[in-house]
Amino acid sequence: MATITTAPVSEETYREIAFGDPRLELHGGRLREKPGMSVEHNDVSEIVTTMLRAQLDRNQYRVRENMGRLRRSAGTYYILDVMVIPAALTRALREQPRALDAYAEPVLLVVEIWSLSTGAYDIGEKLAAYQQRGDREIWFIHPSERTLTAWRRQPDGSYVESVFREGVVRPASLPGVAIDFDEMFTP
C-alpha cells in the first residue's frame, strides 16, 4: 500500500477527502491508497459478496464490497474487501447529510482476501485492529492456498481461530448463511 502523504491529516480532513477518492484509507493519520487487485482477488471478492447477498435479508443486513470503511480511531480508517453490517447502522447514517459510509461500531463479518500487494499489511496490522474494534467475525481468504481463516469473537472478548480448506463455511455471526468453499474458488 502506498502512503500518499507524509504529513498527518485530521479525521475531519480525511472524511472530506474520502468523498473524492474512494480508494483512500487513513493509517496513523496518513493517507494511504488501496492498490488495484488481481483478477483472482476480485473474483473471490465478488463471489463471496454474491453468496452473502443471496442469503441475507436486506431489511436486516447490508453487504459492502470494496466500499464503506471501518473506523478504528480518529487516525485510522480501513476499506475492506467485503463486510456485513447491520442495516440499522446504515439507516442511521442515511439520516445525516453527507455522512461518510464509515462505521465505528463493530460489524458482523469482515472479509479480507489475500493479495501480493496487501497480504502482509492485512494480517500484520488490520487483524489486530478488527479484533480491538470487537468485530464479530473476521475472515482472511487466501485464494492461491485455498484457505479461509476465521477468527470468531467469544463472549469473553477473545477470538477463536479456525482454518477451512473445503466444504461449507457457516459464519457464526450470520445464522443460516452457508458459503460453499469450492464455489469460492471456481474459475
Q: Which residues 6+ apart lie within 8 Å of 30 measured at CB?
A: 3, 4, 5, 6, 7, 8, 9
Q: Which residue has the cell 477527502?
A: 17
What mean pLDDT comes out for the span 156-169? Answer: 96
Strand ranges, E, within 61-131 = 61-65, 69-73, 76-79, 82-86, 102-103, 109-113
pLDDT of residue 182: 87
What pLDDT, on the 0 to 100 scale, is given for residue 1? 44
Q: Kindly state the cell numbers that stand for 174.
A: 450470520
The tens digit of pLDDT for each residue in 40-82 reads 888 999 999 999 999 999 999 999 999 899 999 999 999 999 9
Q: What is the pLDDT of residue 124?
A: 66
The fold of 36-67+79-184 is tt1808, chain A (3.90.1570)
Average of per-residue pLDDT across 26-42? 85
pLDDT for the residue 181: 87
What is the spatial distance between Cα 13 and Cα 58, in angstroms, rounded to a whole number?
32
For residue range 129-150, list pLDDT tens digits in order.
999 999 999 999 998 899 999 9
Statement: residue 106 has pLDDT above 70: yes
Strands 76-79 and 69-73 turn out to be: antiparallel
Q: Report residue 15 as a C-alpha cell.
A: 472524511
* pLDDT number for residue 71: 95
DSSP 46: H
Of 98-102, 115-119, 172-176, the least confident: 115-119
Residue 103: is it exposed, middle or buried by C-beta count within 10 angstroms (0-12/13-18/19+)? buried
Question: Using an 8 Å Cβ cutoff, are 25 and 34 in contact?
Answer: yes
Please, where are the H alpha helices in 32-161? 39-55, 87-94, 119-121, 127-133
